[in-house]
Amino acid sequence: MAPAHLMMNIFFYVTLFQLLINSAVSLPLCTNSNAPVTPKTPLVFCSYNGSSCCDSTDDSNIRKQFESMNVSQPACASVIKSILCSRCDPFSAELFTIKTVARQVPILCNSTVSSTNSYCETVWDTCQNVSIKSSPFSPSNSSNKLTDIWQSRSDFCNVIGGSSANDSVCFDGEKVSLNNTTNSTKSIPTGMCLEKIANGSYLDMVAHTDGSSRAFFSNQKGQVWLASIPEVGSGRGLELDESNPFLDLTDEVHFDTQFGLMSIALHPNFAQNGRFFASFNCDKTQTPSCAGRCACNSDVNCDPSKLVGSTASQPCQYQSVVAEYTTNGTASSRASVIPTASPVEVRRIFTMGLPFTTHHAGQILFGPNDGYLYYTMGDGGEGDPYNFAQNKKSLFGKIMRFDVDNIPSESEIASLGLWGNYSIPRDNPYTEDKDLQPEIWALGLTNPWRCSFDSERPSYFMCGDVGQNEYEEVNMITKNGNYGWRAYEGTSIYTPDSSPGGNTSISSINPIFPVMGYKHTDVNKNEGSASIAGGFFYRSTTDPCLYGSYIYGDLYAHNMWAGVETPENSGNFTTSNVTFGCAKDSPVPCDLVPGSELPALGYLFSFGQDNNKDVYLLASSGVYRIVPPSRCGYTCAQETRTVGSGSNPSSPSSPGGSSANMLRGSCMSLLLLLLLFIGLGYY
């Protein structure tokens, strides 16, 4: 058995390591995991009337708590009030560190600069001998004075205080304000260079979970292939055998302009369990297993027999389906014989009848932190005449969240009114809003087309949402977030042509407006239309000047954008239109738009990302990958000619070495070194 002091050392350093790697700032978020909003009614007690985590009820409760403490000393009373009101701060989730241990008080700034008093020291100096009834600083709320619990100011600040470094969040008595400086070494790219690696037309791409260079590609007809991706700069194309699909669902999938195999997803443990998921549309007049409950029903005051504008020959003829399949053989096999999945469903996860033939999205993806399956659903029809997106009992215009690892019995499914074989995660927002259907994670969306989690900051869940008449938007999705449609399109009030399903009062919602987007008048002036394709945060070092940018584009492929968050972790983005070209040494030659050097992409369906974090464009004319800008003659000050593969090293000279990455790398090295010393007996 290891000596006690050795075990204490190990515990200390592991704990230190965990604290350090989790210190990177995330998006403003409240302690209940919701996004901050502007209160409908101004707060009277706490001065957080901009973006806030409190409403008037919270404000009143905080005032009652403060008054019950009966703090007689004015200076200390002011300090205690500011600490209690910090729960209203947009960064309260970080201040109270709810992801590790819930705190009664926020992390107080504890400066390491000797010439400057920290706020933690100010709190101690002001309140150390003041009686505080039901003190939030006391674990049992029984002690009245700080000196009853701690012997000194340093003891107090070691427990209550936290770092006041630029990349951390701590409370200094005022609303949290992040460092507004940006990375001055980041160069603006003069253009984005692409290479074409395949001619096929694919709608979705998902990297294999085994960390290899393999990825799955699917087309709208219903076929899925497992392909090998060549290294950047190798001169080779995508290795994909179209005659040998991994999964063929063409007998089940209804394929048309608005219908087909919409998305694929791998279980996080796919390499071990072989669980594969597909989201597609079917026609119940052609496929008996397609039948499901119509989403236009009495639950949402909608009569499918009276629908106007549906082109289906019968109500809810078409369905949206999520189904589970399994591999034949070993999912992680790298043998010459590619494993396949049986087209026979293991389980029907979800089925819902569609009242209209448009706006049914259909992407599925697993959350990187929680392992739950997220499912996007559009509003069900052009203009959302039945106002489904704001109807909390309807699943249209929503992002849903399922637990597919815990499947309830058939009787439980029926009693709970579920739409298939899944259970509801316990922290879905219906527990806080009883009007919500339990499947719903976020609402108020038009037609979310392609969402992704940032591989470096999983709390950043980004969705491109197709607009109606004027605006295409990128939304940052948070728990119970309401993104405004159809009360709003973008930031503008939307007036529907018809509204048989009623309207939502503008004053009744707190919409979360887009963080990026573009107007229809700004693009495709010759085409006369626009449709967004959401993308990814670029985390590869292949193009260093794009690192950290959110890349997205338009279906008509004449425009692409890079959104840069300034400052980091603020939720404020500045976007720029990105010129793009095709490398002359592309493995598959690019066709060009007549009279220009612009690659003829055709229609831009989706973006993809591999295990090296390289980003791909899935277009009607083929598969393209972002490669070093110099291959197209573009300049990037940070590019080195050694950039070849899509590996993602983090070093001070590369954008991969962001503060968070460098911190993690340093901490990992420190931990390994300490454990080595421990193993050698130096501790």
Mean pLDDT, to the nearest integer, of 671-680?
45
Cβ atoms of residues 446 and 384 within 8 Å:
yes
Confidence band, pLDDT 50/70/90 cuts, at residue 604: very high
Q: Which residues pair with 226 in a beta bridge?
A: 216
H or E, element range at 536: strand 532-537
Q: Is the pLDDT at 527 greater than 80, yes or no?
A: no
CB 388 within 8 A of CB 403: no
Q: Per-residue pLDDT averaged across 72-100, rounded?
A: 85
Higher pLDDT, 653 or 118: 118
pTM, entire model: 0.76
Does the pLDDT value for residue 168 go beyond 70?
no
Name the band, by pLDDT with cuts 50, 70 and 90, for residue 11. very low
* pLDDT, the chain, mean: 84
Mean pLDDT across the stretch 627-653? 67
Strand pairing class (580-582; 573-577): unpaired
Residue 187 has pLDDT above 60, yes or no: no
pLDDT of 643 > 70? The answer is no
What pLDDT shows up at residue 224? 98
* Alpha-carbon gap, residue 681 to 115, rounded angstroms: 39
pLDDT of residue 546: 96
Residue 408 banded pLDDT, cuts 50, 70, 90: very high
Of 128-137, 242-251, 463-472, the one with minimum mean pLDDT is: 128-137
- Tell me what pLDDT residue 145 has: 87
- pLDDT above 70: residue 277: yes
Question: What CA–CA distance (Å, rounded) separates 25 from 567?
Answer: 11
Quick one: 662 exposed, middle or buried, by C-beta within 10 A (0-12, 13-18, 19+)?
Answer: middle
Q: How confident is the model at residue 173 (pLDDT cuts 50, 70, 90)?
A: confident
The most confident of 58-72, 147-161, 169-183, by mean pLDDT: 58-72
Other Cβ atoms within 10 Å of 65 Cβ, number:
14
pLDDT-derived band at 256, boundaries 50, 70, 90? very high
Give yes or no for residue 411 having a pLDDT over 60.
yes
Among residues 120, 138, 51, the alpha carbon closest in space to that of 82 is found at: 120
Give me the pLDDT at residue 41, please: 82
Name the band, by pLDDT with cuts 50, 70 and 90, for residue 144: confident
pLDDT category, 668, cuts 50, 70, 90?
very low
> Can you give the pLDDT at residue 38?
81
Instruction: Collect all residues with Cβ–Cβ distance below 8 Å to 30 and sequence separation of at least 6.
Output: 36, 53, 90, 92, 93
Higher pLDDT: 73 or 532? It is 532
Q: Is the pLDDT of residue 165 over 70?
A: no
State the pLDDT confidence band at 135, using cuts at 50, 70 and 90: confident
Q: State the average pLDDT over residues 555-562.
A: 88
CB 174 within 8 A of CB 83: no
The stretch 144-161 carries a mean pLDDT of: 86
- On the 0-12 / 13-18 / 19+ scale of CB atoms within 10 A, 502 is exposed
Report, in angstroms and rounded to the nearest whole number, the Rg of the chain calculated over CA atoms.
Answer: 27
> Is it the case that residue 183 has pLDDT exceeding 80?
no
Report yes or no: 93 and 134 within 8 Å, Cβ to Cβ. no
Residue pair 48/37 in contact (Cβ under 8 Å)? The answer is no
Q: Where does CATH 2.120.10.30 sit in the chain?
A: 192-632
CA angle 96, 101, 106 (to 5 degrees): 20
How many CB atoms lie under 10 A from the CB of residue 338?
18
HSE, side-chain direction, 13 A CA sphere, residue 465: 38
CA separation, residue 424 to residues 23, 275, 416 (Å): 30, 19, 10
pLDDT at residue 176 in the model: 82
Segment (H or E) for 376: strand 373-377
> For residue 435, what are its two tokens?
């009007």
Rounded mean pLDDT, 499-509: 92
pLDDT band at residue 123, thresholds of 50, 70 and 90? very high
Angle between the 74-85 and 56-69 helix axes, to the nearest 10 degrees?
A: 150
Looking at the DSSP bridge assignments, the partners of residue 376 are 399
Answer whether 615's CB lies under 8 Å from 174's CB.
Answer: no
CB 233 within 8 A of CB 645: yes
User: Which residues are paired to 532 by β-bridges?
Assistant: 554
Judge contact between 190 and 580, C-beta under 8 A.
Answer: no
**Residue ranges of E strands in 555-630:** 560-565, 573-577, 580-582, 604-609, 615-619, 622-627
Relative to beta strand 161-162, strand 108-109 is parallel
Work out the average pLDDT over 642-664.
40
Range ranked top by mean pLDDT from 37-41, 93-97, 217-221:
217-221
Strand ranges inside 199-254, DSSP E? 204-207, 214-218, 223-228, 247-248
**pLDDT for residue 21:** 39
**The predicted structure's pLDDT at residue 159:** 85
Q: In the predicted model, what is the mean pLDDT of residues 334-350?
A: 80
Nearby residues of 584 by Cβ (< 8 Å), 6 or more positions away: 631, 632
Write the pLDDT tens digit of every residue in 359-368.
999 999 999 9
pLDDT at 385 over 60: yes
Q: Which residues contact residue 525 at a Cβ distance below 8 angstroms, ignoring those fewer than 6 apart?
A: none
Q: Give the amino acid at 668.
A: M
Looking at the predicted structure, is the pLDDT value of residue 239 above 90?
yes
Measure the CA–CA gap between 293 and 29, rounded to whole angstroms: 36
- Considering the four listed CATH numbers 1.10.10.60, 3.30.360.10, 2.120.10.30, 1.10.10.10, the one that applies to the domain covering 192-632 is 2.120.10.30
Question: In this model, does residue 592 exceed pLDDT 60?
Answer: yes
Residue 390 exposure: Cα atoms within 13 Å on the Cβ side: 23
Determine the Cα–Cα distance for residues 476 and 459; give it in Å rounded to an integer: 9
Alpha helices (H) along 142-191: 153-160
For residue 624, give both structure tokens: 């393209």
pLDDT at 653: 36
Q: Distance (Å, rounded) from C-alpha 307 to C-alpha 385? A: 10
Is 90 exceeded by the pLDDT of residue 20?
A: no
Residue 674 has pLDDT above 70, yes or no: no
With beta carbons less than 8 A apart as the criterion, state whether 121 and 146 touch.
Answer: no
Across the range 655-672, mean pLDDT stands at 43
| Amino acid, single-letter form, for residue 39 | P
What's the rounded Cα separation, in Å, for the pair 495 and 489? 9
Per residue in 304-320, pLDDT tens?
A: 888 765 544 577 999 99
Residue 161 Cα distances to 18, 153, 204, 359, 579, angstroms: 17, 10, 47, 50, 47
Residue 337: per-residue pLDDT: 52
- Residue 666: pLDDT over 70: no
Residues 159 and 150: beta-carbon distance below 8 Å:
yes
Would the pLDDT of 223 be above 70? yes
Which residues contact residue 364 at a Cβ distance below 8 angstroms, ignoring those fewer than 6 apart? 263, 264, 265, 277, 278, 279, 322, 373, 374, 375, 376
- Cα(604)–Cα(592) distance, rounded to whole angstroms? 15
User: Which residue is listed with tokens 């999520």?
Assistant: 322
Assign residue 472 a region (left: φ > 0; alpha: ψ between -120 and 50; beta: otherwise): beta
Structure confidence at residue 134 (pLDDT): 86
Q: What share of the chain has pLDDT > 90, as a percent?
A: 59
Give the least confident one: 133-147, 366-380, 457-471.
Answer: 133-147
Q: Which uninterrupted H or E stretch holds 75? A: helix 74-85
403 pLDDT band, cuts 50/70/90, is very high
d(CA 322, CA 362): 9
CA distance 446 to 113: 50
Q: Which run of H or E residues covers position 666?
A: helix 659-679
387 pLDDT tier (thresholds 50, 70, 90) = very high
CB contact set of 565 (below 8 Å; sequence gap of 6+)? 548, 550, 571, 572, 573
